[in-house]
A and B are shown apart, each in its own frame.
Chain A
Amino acid sequence: MSLPEVLPSRAEVIARVKSQGKRLLAVMPIHYPRALLRAYGFHPIELWGPPDAPVAQGARHFQAYTCDIVVKATSFLLSGGADVAEGILVPHTCDALQGMAAVLHDFVHPRQRVLTLYHPRERREADRLYYVDELARLGRDLEELAGKRPSEGEWTEALATETAATTALAELYRDRPRLALGDREFYTLVRSREYLPSEDFIRIASAVQRGAPRAADGVPILLSGIVPEPMSLFDAIHAAGAAVVADDLACGFRRVYEIPERGSALERLAASILDAPADPTRGTPLAERAEELILRMTSTGARGMLVYGVKFCEPELFDLPRLRHYLGEAGFPMTHIEHELVSTLGQQAVTRIEAFVETLQ
C-alpha cells in the first residue's frame, strides 16, 4: 500500500482519539513536550496555518506585517476549526506567537483555554533549572484542564511511547537513502507527527521498507525553513531536477529530539528540547548553527541549501546573512525564497527553485 492510503486523515484521527476518551489540544509551532501532554491524557493536533484558512478573521486582530501562520491559525480557530480541542497550547516560539497567545488570552477569549510555555534561549544551568519548573507549571495547567494527575503508570507509558516515537522519527532520517519514499511522501510521513497518535506513527514509520541505499533522485539539496507549504513544493523541487536529502525545517529535523535516559521525567523532557538540533527560535548561536548545517550537508551529500521561509519570520531572516557567509566559505551556495501560507505554489518560487538547481548542476 502507498503511504497516503496508510495514513489516516486528520478528521479520522480526531474522531478516533475522541472516541477513545482522550482530550484534544490544539498546538502551535514549534517545540513542546509531547510526553507531558500524553501523561495527562491529551492528544496534540498541531496548527501550522492551515494554508486554506481565510485570512479575514485573523486580519481583524493582527496587522498586515504579522506572520501568516499566526493570522491563518487565528482565522482557523475563530471559524470553529479547532472547536474539538479543549485547549490551545501556544509555545513561545517568537514575538508573533507571543502576540497570538496574548491576543487570544486577553481579547479574543476563545472557548478553549489558552496555555503557554516559555522556552529558555540558552542552555546554561539556570536555563535547565528554569525549564524544568516551567514544564511543571504547564503540567499544573494541564492538570486543571484534565481534572486529574497522571499516575506513575501513565507517566511511564507516556515516556516510553514518546521516546519510541522520537526514535522512530530519528531512524526515518537515518535510513533516508534506503527508504522507498519520494520527497513528498517522506515529508508527508514526517509531518503526520503533527496530528497522528505516537503509537500509530511508530507503527507506520517502522513499517516503511528499507532497501539498499540508493543515490538521490536529482541534485541533492538541504531544505531549510519553517514549514513546506504547499507540499507541492516538493513536486516543484523534483521537477526542477533536485532532491531533498536533508532538512533544517522547523516541522522536520529541528524536532528530531533525543530523550535522555537519566533524570526525572521533567528533566528528561527539558533536556530533549534544549539539546535538540540547532534552531534560531531557541537561540542557537550562529556559528554553531552554521557548523551543524555544514556537517549535515557534508554527511548527506547536499550541494546547496534552499531556504523556503515564511514572510516576516524574524528568527529565520536574522540568521540568513551570516549563514550565507559561513556556507559560502564552506563552498555551499544558498538561496532564499519567501512565501506566505498558500495552497498554490507561486510561479515566482518555481522559477527560483529551477534557477537555483541550475546553478548547482
Chain B
Amino acid sequence: MSTTRPASLPIAPAQPAAAGAARPSREGAASKPSTAFRESTYLKHLFGYEILGKPALRLQRWRDEQAIRAYEPKPTDVLSPPLVCVAQMKELMTRHYLEGRYASGVKKVAWVTSGAPAEILKAFGFFLVYPENHAALCGVRRKTEEIATEAENAGFSRDLCSYARTDLGTVLSGKTPVGRLPRPDLLLCCTNICQTVLYWYRNLADLFGVPLVLIDTPFLYGEAQPHQIEYVKRQIEGIIPVAEKVAGKALDEERFESVLQHARDAADLWLEVLNRSQNRPAPMTAFDGFIHMGPIVDLRGDAVTVEYYRRMLKELDARVAQGVGAVKDERYRVLWDNLPIWYRIGGFSKLLAQHGVNVVVSTYTYAWGELAPLIDPAKPLDSMAKVYLHPILNRSPADKLRVMRRMVKEFGLDGVILHSDRSCKPYSLGQIDERELLARELGLPALLLEADHSDPRAWADEQGNARLEAFVEMMEGRG
C-alpha cells in the first residue's frame, strides 16, 4: 500500500558530507575539531544565503504547497494529507541551517542547549545553533549511526547520549546532512534538561577553545525555593557581560524585550496548537508535533515563529471545523512520553494509524508551551529565572505523572506509550513506576517501549513492532 504523505518531511536539503574532514589523530582520543569549521565571508553570506538561497527556498516552498494542495487522497490512505503549512516550516528550518553555513565569521555564533535562556543572545544578534535539534535532524535523516561512529572512534562510549555522540561526531569529522555547521564563538549550556549537556559542552569548550556559560538549575524535587530562583537569576544576569565581550557591543534592552515578547507569543500559540488535539478526531498527531517543533526550539524569539504558529493554528481550526482528523479512522487516542524515536517517526505514525490509533499528545512537545504563562517581558530576568528552572525535565517525576494523568482526562486517552530512552536518563528513570501507576490506577493499557531517540542501533524492528502491536491488541481487546 502507499504511504499517504506526498511531501517529504525532511527539514533541510540533503548535502554530501563535508569533504576534507579531519580524522582524530589518535584512536580513542579526541584531539581537535574538523577543518570543516572554517570561517565564511560576507560575500559568501550575501550570495549563498541572501541572493541565491532565500529566493530558491521560497520557490521550493511554493512548489511544496502546490503539491500538498493538489494531492488526491487514495482510499488506502490511513493518514490525512499533511498540513499545508509544513512547507513553510520546511522553508524556515532549511533557511536557518542555510544561514548557518555562511554564519561563521559573519555573525557571532553561539551553540546553545534546547532549554537554555537563549533570548539574551538573540537580542545581541548571535546566530544560534541548537546541537540537539541538529542531532535530531541527523536521526530523521538516518545519519546518526555514521556520524556517531566518528565520536565513538574518538573514544566516546556508546553508552553516552546519542545526541552528544552525534554532535561530537560532527565536530570531529565535519560530517552533517546540512552542509556545514558554523564554528561557535560562545557556548551556552543549561542543566535544566540533564547533566549530560554539561559534560558534553565541557568537551565542546575544550575542543573549540571558546567560553562556556553555564546556567546551572537545581533539580526541583518539590516547590522551587527562593535561593534556587535567585541562583538561576544571578547566572542569567551573568550571561550579559560575557555576551557583551564576545559580541563587542552592549545589550539592546528594547530588542531583548521584543525577543521575549515573541518567545512568549510563540509559546502561547504552540500550546494552543497542541491543545487542538483535544478535539475528536484530533487534527494532528504528536508525530506531526515532533516535526513542527523545529521553530519553537530553534527560532524561539523570532517574529516569524509567531506568524508561523498563527498560520498553523488557523489550518488546524479549519480541520476541526470540518471534522477532519490526522488519522482517518481515529478509534484510539494515545499519549507519548519522552523524546520521539526520530528515525521511526514516519513508520510508527503509519503503523499505528493502520490500527486506528492516533498518538494525540506528548509530554515532550508540551515542554515548549506549558511554561508560556510564566514569561513576562516586563520582568525579563525574574521571569526567565522561573521559566528556565521549571521545564518538565527539571521537575520530579511525580509532577510528570500528574501532567500525564491530566492529559488522559483532557485528551480522552485510551492508552499510554512510554518511550524508555537509553539516551535520556532524566526523562526515563521513573517510567517503570509511572507506567505501573497509570496502568493500575487508570486501568489503561500502558507500554514501556525501549529504544533510543536517535541511535537506531538501540532499536530492533521485530521486537519493537511486536510490542507496539501487542499494545494495540490490548486496546482492541478492551473494545
Contacts and interface: CB of A to CB of B under 8 A. Distances in A.
A198 interface: no
Interface in B236-250: 238
B398 A106 contact: yes
B473 interface: no
A107 B154 CA distance: 39
A122 interface: yes
Given A121-B216, A129-B231, A322-B203, A317 B156 contact: yes
A95 B427 CA distance: 10
Given A65-B159, A121-B216, A317-B159, A325 B31 contact: yes
Contacts of B155: 320-321, 324
Contacts of B66: none
Interface in B219-260: 219, 221, 225, 227-228, 230-231, 234-235, 238
Of the candidates B157, B205, B214, B420, the one having the most CB atoms from chain A within 10 angstroms of its own CB is B157
Contact of B216 (A116, A122, A320, A328): A122
A319 B29 CA distance: 10
Interface stretch (B68-76, B192-200, B328-336, B345-353): B192-200
A101 interface: yes
Interface in A111-129: 116, 118, 120-122, 124-127, 129
A121 B234 contact: no
Contact of B202 (A60, A65, A283, A328): A283
Contact of B203 (A95, A100, A318): A318
Contacts of B397: 102-103, 106-107
A321 B156 CA distance: 6
Given A134-B227, A318-B156, A325 B29 contact: yes
B175 interface: no
A124 B239 CA distance: 13
Contacts of A315: 195, 199
Interface residues of B, number: 56
Interface stretch (B51-59, B291-299, B429-437): B429-437
B433 A321 contact: no
A16 interface: no
Contacts of A92: 218-219
A126 B429 contact: no
A286 interface: yes
A61 interface: yes
Of the candidates A127, A280, A314, the one having the most CB atoms from chain B within 10 angstroms of its own CB is A314
Nearest to A92: B219
Interface string A321-333: 1101100100000
A127 B216 contact: yes
A322 B30 CA distance: 5
B161 to A, nearest CB: 8
A99 interface: yes
Contacts of A319: 199, 202
Contacts of A191: none
A95 B214 contact: no
Nearest to B164: A318
Main secondary structure of the interface of A (DSSP, over half): helix
Given A61-B433, A96-B429, A286-B203, A121 B227 contact: no
Contacts of B396: 102, 105-106
A133 B221 contact: no
Interface residues of A, number: 52
Interface in B107-156: 154-156
A199 B245 CA distance: 51
Contacts of A322: 29-30, 203, 206-207
A283 B205 CA distance: 12
A137 interface: yes
A103 B433 contact: yes
A81 interface: no
A108 B398 CA distance: 11
Contact of A105 (B29, B206, B221): B221
B238 A286 contact: no
A134 to B, nearest CB: 7
Interface in A284-332: 285-287, 311-312, 314-315, 317-322, 324-325, 328
Interface string A234-250: 00000000000000000
A218 B198 CA distance: 38
B433 A101 contact: no
Interface in A55-104: 60-63, 65-66, 92, 94-96, 98-103
B160 interface: yes
B227 A137 contact: yes
Contacts of A287: 206
A318 B231 contact: no
A129 B216 CA distance: 13
B227 A130 contact: yes
Contact of A102 (B161, B196, B202, B429): B429
A99 B430 contact: yes
B26 interface: yes
A126 B235 contact: yes
26 contacts: A60-B432, A63-B420, A63-B422, A63-B428, A66-B425, A95-B195, A98-B429, A99-B430, A102-B397, A102-B398, A107-B437, A126-B231, A127-B216, A130-B228, A280-B202, A285-B206, A286-B203, A286-B205, A312-B159, A314-B160, A314-B196, A319-B202, A320-B156, A322-B206, A325-B26, A328-B26
Interface of A: 60-63, 65-66, 92, 94-96, 98-103, 105-108, 116, 118, 120-122, 124-127, 129-130, 133-134, 137, 280, 283, 285-287, 311-312, 314-315, 317-322, 324-325, 328
Given A130-B230, A318-B160, 17 more contacts: A61-B432, A106-B401, A106-B430, A116-B221, A118-B219, A122-B214, A127-B231, A137-B227, A285-B212, A314-B160, A318-B156, A318-B196, A318-B199, A321-B30, A322-B29, A322-B206, A325-B30
Q: Which 8 A-B pairs have the closest CB atoms?
A: A99-B429, A321-B155, A318-B199, A133-B227, A106-B398, A130-B231, A321-B30, A107-B433
Interface of B: 26, 28-31, 154-157, 159-161, 164, 191, 194-196, 198-200, 202-203, 205-207, 212, 214, 216, 218-219, 221, 225, 227-228, 230-231, 234-235, 238, 396-398, 401, 420, 422, 425-426, 428-434, 437, 450
